[in-house]
Structure 1
Amino acid sequence: MTMLQVPVHPGEILKHDYLEELGISAGALAKRIGVPRTRIERLCKEEVSLTVDTALRLSRAFGTTVEFWMNLQLHYDVLTETAKVDLSDIEPLIAA
């Protein structure tokens, strides 16, 4: 039995596990890490993908790693794209 994985956007993690837990607004975080307020707001609304620049800044602010944030984005992208792409007509290449 295969369990269906639900993609979780890194903005959801940021919003619920960090901003809400710390009682800080998107605007306050943006100011603290030196990015436009709209970047954090749009990320929390899941309107944009997480960039490496933002991941670096979040990792510094929250004492995490950049890989933590980028892996969240990668996992989200893989799950959402896998659901959209039909690969059934691609024959695997096998070395002779």
Structure 2
Amino acid sequence: MFPKNRQPTHPGEVLWEEFLKPLTISQEHFAMHLGGSWTQPKVSEIVNKKRRVTEAIALDFADAFGTSAEFWLNLQAQYDLWFAKQNHEQISLLPELKVVGL
């Protein structure tokens, strides 16, 4: 079991370690398969955690691998939220809510 405070895995790492690498698909081949505006450098940026997985990217990955777009977006959201929490200053609970017992 992973500790609760560990940094979540970036979707680019999941893309590489769980999909491309085991299937022996190069980043270049994957970019060609996706077509359109996809290039090897764009795939590389995602794999190397330099680019976020957007809704459009998640839809492309879902189509290519038979997953859901939500799978990819949830990975990205968990990753982003973890970093936001690292820089977040806790705000105290409103006094009105303390009285109610929330």
For Structure 1 versus Structure 2, the TM-score category normalised by the shorter chain is 0.7 to 0.9
Unaligned runs of 5+ in 1: none
Separation in 2 of the partners of 1:30 and 1:14? Answer: 13
Aligned-partner Cα distance in 2 for 1:38–1:51: 16
The letter of the residue matching 2:50 is E
Query: For each residue in 1:44-66, what CA deviation from the matched residue of structure 2 results, as whole angstroms up to 9, or x when unmatched?
Result: 01111111111100000000000
Shift of 1:5: 2.2
Identity %: 31
* Displaced runs of 4 or more, over 3 A: 93-96
Unmatched segments (≥5 aa) in structure 2: none
1:28 aligns with 2:22: no
Moved more, 55-64 or 28-37: 28-37
Instruction: Give the superposition deviation at 1:7.
Output: 1.9
Q: Structure 1 residue 79 and structure 2 residue 46: aligned?
A: no
Pick the structure with greater CA Rg. Answer: 2
One-letter amino acid of the counterpart of residue 76, structure 2? Q
How far did 1:84 drift? 1.6
Provide the aligned C-alpha RMSD in A.
Answer: 1.7
CA distance in 1, matches of 2:62, 2:74: 12
Amino acid aligned to 2:18: D
Matched, 1:49 2:52: yes
Partner of 1:18: 19
Note the C-alpha offset of 1:30: 0.9
SS in 2 for 1:75: helix
Residues in 2 aligned to 1:51 and 1:3: alpha-carbon distance in whole angstroms: 25
Rounded to whole Å, the distance in 2 between the matches of 1:39 and 1:92 is 43
- TM-score between the two structures when normalised by the length of structure 1: 0.86
Equivalenced residue count is: 93
